[in-house]
Amino acid sequence: MANEYVVRTKDLVKEYTMGDQTLKALNGVSLDIYRGEYISIMGPSGSGKSTLFNAVGGLDKPSSGSVFINDVDMAQLDAQELAYLRCHTIGYIFQTFNLIPVMTALENVTLPTVFAGMSTDEGVERGIELLELVGLGGRLHHKPSELSGGQQQRVAIARSLANNPSIILADEPTGNLDLNTGKEIIDLLKSLNKDQGVTIISATHDLKMLDVSDRIVWIRDGQIAKVEERKDLDIRIGEMEGQEALH
């Protein structure tokens, strides 16, 4: 049964020791994320945005406080269970795409299904279905080096969906893409969010993201500065001048 919150953090603190100084990258962050939400974590570099993101994704252990994914306390999990969580429950999308260079688009998408113990035929079927979903049905057997940045990110998105995760964590997914390609990727993420009901958590600088987010969490100095609902938001993202001419 689907519980209301997919991710909850409680009093999250992350300290880094530099010489004799202790730096608090996160200083008591409590955040509840609803199932099926599209949430953006915004903040300047060094604000603790990435640290929060890593903690939520189970990529880094907090110094204190806890993270619950589907009501499971991450701190309680051992290495195997964490791996299982990463494989089945969380899909990751990276700024630098991070496709495995030696594998084709299809093999990249199929890899998580291999880890999940799916048979090859099933996995391939699933891979093709997903690549078609992200609009790359015609490029199944291309290597990442033969794809454009936007296409690589689409493959990465397909890969993140391979095992039907309940959460997709996107770390600056548009950071390495030009304006239009970035917009396409954001639209794709939004449509996946709407159609598949997957929760999307994205750390970003990209103001284009605001437009599609249900909520925006602003992080400053390791604390949540404010959480805004989109309907309360009155920002005109607007097209850049000369945008139309490009189409």
Q: Which of 70, 181, 196, 223 binds other proteins (CB under 8 A)?
A: 70
Nearer to other proteins, 126 or 228 (CB): 126
- Is residue 67 close enough to count as binding other proteins by CB under 8 A? no
- Mark residue 231 as left, alpha or beta (left: phi above 0; alpha: psi -120 to 50; beta: remaining): alpha
Q: Which of 27, 66, 89, 181 binds other proteins (CB under 8 A)?
A: 89
- Is residue 69 close enough to count as binding other proteins by CB under 8 A? yes
CB contact at 8 A, 106 and 141: yes
Number of residues that bind other proteins (CB under 8 A): 48
Q: Which of 13, 114, 128, 179 binds other proteins (CB under 8 A)?
A: 114
How far is it, in rounded angstroms, from Cα 78 to Cα 152?
A: 32
We find the least distance from the C-beta atom of residue 81 to other proteins, in angstroms, to be 5
Nearer to other proteins, 35 or 230 (CB): 35
Q: Which of 39, 41, 56, 118 binds other proteins (CB under 8 A)?
A: 118
Hey, how many other C-beta atoms are within 10 angstroms of the C-beta on 184?
A: 16
Three-class DSSP category at 216: strand
Nearer to other proteins, 75 or 233 (CB): 75
Count of residues making up the chain: 247
- Is residue 75 close enough to count as binding other proteins by CB under 8 A? no
Q: Which residues pair with 215 in a beta bridge?
A: 39, 229
**Residues 9 to 48 in contact with other proteins, rule: CB under 8 A:** none
- Provide the 8-state DSSP code for 55: H
Q: Which of 15, 66, 116, 142 binds other proteins (CB under 8 A)?
A: 116
**Residues 129 to 168 in contact with other proteins, rule: CB under 8 A:** 159, 163-166
- DSSP-assigned states of every residue in 191-210: HHHHHH--EEEEEE--GGGG
- DSSP-assigned states of every residue in 124-177: HHHHHHHHHHTT-GGGTT--GGGS-HHHHHHHHHHHHTTT--SEEEEESTTTTS
Q: Which stretches of the chain bind other proteins, using CB under 8 A?
A: 1-3, 50, 54, 57, 59-60, 69-73, 76-77, 79-81, 83-89, 92, 94-96, 98-103, 111-112, 114-118, 159, 163-166, 171
